[in-house]
Structure 1
Amino acid sequence: MPRDGAPTRERILSVAERLVIENGFSATPVERVIAESGTSKGAFFHHFDSKVALARALVDRYVAADLGHLDRALATAQAEHDDPVERVIAFVRLFEEEADALMAEQSSCLYLAVLTERQLADVGTAEQIAAAVVGWRDAVAAMIREAYAALESAPTIDPAALADHLFVTFEGAFLLCRSTGDPTHMRRQLRVLRELVESLLRR
């Protein structure tokens, strides 16, 4: 009976993701991924025919997890609040409350590591990341528009731009945490964003 290679592939991807986030793609040799994942060169190239193929698979996996996190947060906020204003605030608060756990799991974001590598941008990974950014923007902006519709006087801030600001806060906080060595910046920056959203929507 053929052996299921899924656990091996997942182990390679998990190790590669950590190494690329910590060191960058160019500074992560395939040999190190193989060694730290406890696999063989043959097993690696059975699943990924090149280092670029590994990069594409890493981004695919990360994007899927990222959008899955978005969907879960949207569903939780929807289940907890009928009021569209409170739903938006609760949505941001969910990420604020999970920030410390997030930073305990990873020191930065794979998107940042990939987008700074010119060779990866040239092979289509940037398009994968752009699709994730648009996915966040569309879903969060739709929720913000519902909140605006519930107000007597809607704010003038573009819902899509406000939705992008959540994504920008995440990425900027990753850089702040990494540069200062203080992972609590993520939670603090998300708290600031949540307080700004509260002041905007609860006027």
Structure 2
Amino acid sequence: MPRDGQLTRERLLEAAERLVERNGFAATSVDAILEESGSSKGAFFHHFANKRALAHALVERYVDADLSLLRAGLDAVEAEPDPVQKLLAFLGFYENWSGDLTSESACLYIAVVTERDLLDDQTGGQVERAILGWRAAVAELFRKAYAARGLTHGPDPDDLADQLFVVFEGSYLVCRALGSGEPMRAQLRVYRQLVESLLSD
């Protein structure tokens, strides 16, 4: 695809993401996406056969970005030799990342799983890909930290990994409801502190 065509597609997806997070998928019309993106109807249907095809591309793009954020956190702590400190530094990475969030920050996953018009096997499968990707990576960090501390009891690493995902998703809701990006940072800090207490000598 020519570079300008790729840029147009990306502009359409960026506009659609903003509108879906703000208004929901059902309330986001193709015309609204065209107006938001400054694109033509011909350009839209060149890239997407219909609104459903847009939804599939939108969710896949969002999940890819989310898993890239996961990899960024893992890469940032790769050189740390101590498994416990690596896990805590990994969690701290997202505390720092969350400082850039605003009250307008939102998560597309909520729209996907709550809107019947957006949820189907393909979009649902993409969200599952994200959840399982985070679970596998974060649970492995917990397992290695448990082993380093000699812990033979405590919460299941998979459950702790899922809890981190829940902290992210729930915090997006609280940020929007309270009109502030600070709750995300606060909840990630509390999660890290609880993990630190769990792994303390």
TM-score between both structures, scaled by the size of structure 2: 0.95
Distance 1:201 1:34 in 2: 51
Map of 1:142 onto structure 2: 140
What is the aligned-residue RMSD (CA, Å)? 1.5
Map of 1:95 onto structure 2: 94
Unaligned runs of 5+ in 1: none
Map of 1:72 onto structure 2: 72
Using the aligned pairs only, state the percent identity. 54
Name the amino acid aligned to 1:96.
E
Distance 1:161 1:69 in 2: 20
Deviation at 1:3, TM superposition (A): 6.8
In structure 2, the CA distance between the partners of 1:38 and 1:148, relative to structure 1 (3 Å rule), is: same
Map of 1:83 onto structure 2: 82
Deviation at 1:107, TM superposition (A): 1.9
Measured against aligned partners, the alpha-carbon deviations of 1:155-194 in whole angstroms (never above 9, x if no partner) come to: 4210000011110000010111111212210000000001
Contact 1:176 1:185 in 2 (8 A): yes
Unaligned runs of 5+ in 2: none
Distance 2:22 2:154 in 1: 40
Provide the secondary structure at the position in 1 that maps to 2:99. helix
Map of 2:188 onto structure 1: 190
Matches within 5 A, 1:17-166: 17-79=17-79, 81-101=80-100, 103-104=101-102, 107-166=105-164
Name the amino acid aligned to 2:109.
Y
Name the amino acid aligned to 2:81.
D
Contact 1:22 1:107 in 2 (8 A): no
TM-score between both structures, scaled by the size of structure 1: 0.94
Map of 1:14 onto structure 2: 14
Query: How many residues matched?
Result: 200
| Larger mean Cα displacement after TM superposition, 38-47 or 121-130 | 121-130
Deviation at 1:123, TM superposition (A): 4.7
In structure 2, the CA distance between the partners of 1:91 and 1:42, relative to structure 1 (3 Å rule), is: same
Measured against aligned partners, the alpha-carbon deviations of 1:49-73 in whole angstroms (never above 9, x if no partner) come to: 1111111000110010100110111
**Which runs of structure 1 show a deviation greater than 4 angstroms over 4 or more consecutive aligned residues?**
none
Name the amino acid aligned to 2:176.
R
Name the amino acid aligned to 1:84.
P
Distance 1:105 1:8 in 2: 28
Distance 1:3 1:75 in 2: 29
